Chain A
């Protein structure tokens, strides 16, 4: 078990013929993801380098392949439209990798997605979602990688020395890899890792993913990795205090960030006085989350929270 995606999930790539879309479709395909096709308007009927069918529209792709998940690499000006096209075609899990989508586009798209209650959006501006596969020789099987993360750093519970697996939810891409790696080298596997993305208006937020991990029997604990900007981590911490039955380790990036400066992510900017990393860390600790003060201690903090010493 896992959340959002698993080895049976049938996945298409929107923007499959673009350079990033093609590169990462291949990466996901090679990891063992059931990539079943992709879309690029005007290139319907062709095949990509992996032999996957290309369609003009998501609707045709869904009817032709039975896909239920989509990985979006469509360029920023058209990304919000691509999200809505996927929702309208019946895609259940939309994972938008594209960075640089205008905020007003996402405000409108999020509101329109309310009309598709069965659809889940992850991102945009995120590394994607991975449910790790188990090792068979030098390959992985049974997993599903939808996104740009390096597959090999992840560990399926079956391959984990401690026999434990944690869920990871994060606003950052490479910092998630850091957390995954620190867990993997300590023999802690991962059930699913969700990069929710660094934009101010996005799909799933911490709280949504935490609820899923809490309900997933194969998730033993959770690492949540936040950033400066916004109040989502604080809302999630309060929810954890009242509802979470599993240990949670947490970290907030940006304790040294200067006020008013955007730190790379559109969403990573300190606003008011309550909006600092320190303020978030304080609330998280008060809510029973094991806070890691150093990004180098994420794995160890999780291990301690799991009672692994």
Chain B
């Protein structure tokens, strides 16, 4: 699960990590008031940022650096009044409902800090770089030696001496070093406490020296979190940050029924049990010259009702020109799928070609059910195996 930047800043602030003053606003008037307030606190520059998960905000004009509350007002008018279109949004763009108004701090130097799971080491790892503010993937590719990796102990987490060593490798000294160590320790604790799968601060900023901070000061300017969906049951406060408007409505509906659904661009709807088989079904459709319309794993214990809902979701996508059902029953019993197919035929109706491939638990009973309902399923073809199924649905949708 992802959250917005304003929520991420709040989490950092609650963990006593220094962030620039900021406010989340939902109206133009609030934006003006927030800007005035932050300027009154001593800020010289402000930034207004649209709160959407999609990237490409800066180029689309939905991140603006400005100096006055009036400029903040017009930036807010633009962002709240227009849909944001970027390469990462749907073509029609996204409606922006929330903005972040924050102090844009002066920057002496930018760093990158993140803690995330290292699968190979089976533990969380602190990743740091003195080349912050840019895409870390780019740094990793072009200058791998510019990236510092410090594995955390799987049980006790980050040790202060490890954080100190990383801070020194970043070239920090004096008070800023102590501040960075403190920040890393708090970040690591926050990751564990919130069951985050990633905490990223980019950029971590060292401000230029001023009267109060003759060596400069360490501030977390932008933060990103990802959370482990498996742990949300014990992270009520995090789960409450979920913003359903950021999600594809069909994916959300599927989730409510315990289905794992990802919308894609193609024309062949897929209904499969198991994530690996569902991915493979997409792969073989493509190999045979078709394009999958979705990933859909009904799981092993889905009820007939949930499977029927899965058909409704697939068939409500107007691009779908055919449906491939591929079930290898283990826990999932094939007869349950067969009943759901017959039910969907009655309630929604298959106007598009339907290819059904069933194998595994209770397959004989399933075949009997589908055979008996042939009259209601005029577009159905039974497939012998996976390859046959893929060829049939691709041929049927091209015809």
Which positions in A face B, CB cutoff 8 Å? 20, 23-24, 76-77, 100-105, 107-108, 110-112, 127, 148-150, 153, 170-178, 181-182, 198, 200-201, 225, 227-232, 235, 251, 253-258, 261-268, 272-273, 277, 293-297
Contacts and interface: CB of A to CB of B under 8 A. Distances in A.
B276 A265 contact: yes
A272 B135 CA distance: 12
A268 B275 contact: yes
Interface of B: 117, 119-120, 122-124, 137, 140-141, 153-155, 192, 195, 197, 228-231, 233-234, 260, 262, 264, 272-287, 292, 295, 297, 300-301, 328-331, 359-361, 385-387, 390
Nearest to A253: B279
Nearest to A296: B387
A243 to B, nearest CB: 19
A75 B56 CA distance: 40
Contact of A107 (B122, B260, B281, B283): B122
B234 A107 contact: no
Q: Shortest 9 CB-CB distances between A and B: which pairs?
A: A172-B276, A264-B275, A174-B274, A296-B387, A111-B154, A175-B276, A295-B280, A102-B231, A174-B277
A295 B284 contact: yes
Interface of B is mostly: mixed
A290 B359 CA distance: 26
Contact of B195 (A104, A173, A227, A253): A104
Given A77-B233, A101-B230, A201-B119, A265 B275 contact: yes
Given A201-B117, A264-B260, A296-B387, A175 B274 contact: yes
A255 B286 contact: yes
Nearest to A230: B119
A262 B81 CA distance: 32
Contact of B141 (A107, A198, A253, A273): A273
A263 B386 contact: no
B330 A175 contact: no
B154 A107 contact: yes
B154 A170 contact: no
Contacts of A153: 359-360
Contacts of B295: 257, 261, 263-264
Given A111-B154, A176-B276, 6 more contacts: A103-B117, A105-B231, A173-B330, A175-B280, A178-B328, A201-B119
